[in-house]
Structure 1
């Protein structure tokens, strides 16, 4: 593949990448298998806040944790990546 794509979830978006709450778990896992250049990530700060509120956050397999969403986006922009918020 000639490009890499990251889907980065933070705040309430973590629910889409949690094994216990995601309504799209099977679809996300299928996408990760089909497209090895597609990576799903969660904000470590949001994950920490969720766990500190007493919720367990079991993530879907192969979901990566980054230190924070802001740091990840800033790093990728410095590296020349494009950014699109949805």
Structure 2
């Protein structure tokens, strides 16, 4: 039996409708939710992630929409939130202090691995909170109606 791409997409769409699956942009409470995954130690990726967050926040604010944004870092992406290695620490401070409803999350598993490798815990910015596991946090956010992207 051969399935075409269209048949598979139709089946998936039907299944989502039958199970009541929703996206961040169709949540019952009207809040637009965006989760941004950062897992690479690349300054360009850091800048893109922060640009996406600020542009989304501005767009939602301009439209009068309520929103929540969470930037989740793990693996090499944790460097975004390390106060000793992040090339964008000034922007993180600025965003944290001026853009409402933005949360920065640092992976506890990655912190533990870096601590073991480096002999001391990496310094994480005061603007971030530690979550047990970055990937698990992204799954939780997805289940809570966040639209998850990776710039």
TM-score after normalising by structure 1: 0.91
Q: Return the offset for 1:8.
A: 0.7
- The answer as to 2:95 corresponding to 1:28 is no
Aligned residues: 86
* Superposition map of 1:33-72 within 5 A: 33-53=97-117, 54-72=119-137
- The answer as to 2:76 corresponding to 1:12 is yes
Structure 2 residue ranges without an equivalent (≥5): 1-64
Find the counterpart in structure 2 of residue 79 from structure 1.
144
Higher helix share: 2
Checking the alignment, whether the CA contact within 8 Å between 2:111 and 2:121 is kept in structure 1 is no
Structure 1 residue ranges without an equivalent (≥5): none
Runs of 4+ in 1 over 2 A off after TM superposition: none
In terms of Rg, which structure is larger? 2
Cα separation, 2, equivalents of 1:10 and 1:29? 19
Aligned residues: CA RMSD: 1.3
Q: Return the offset for 1:36.
A: 2.4
1:53-75 residue CA offsets vs partner (Å, 9 max, x unmatched): 12431111120111101110111
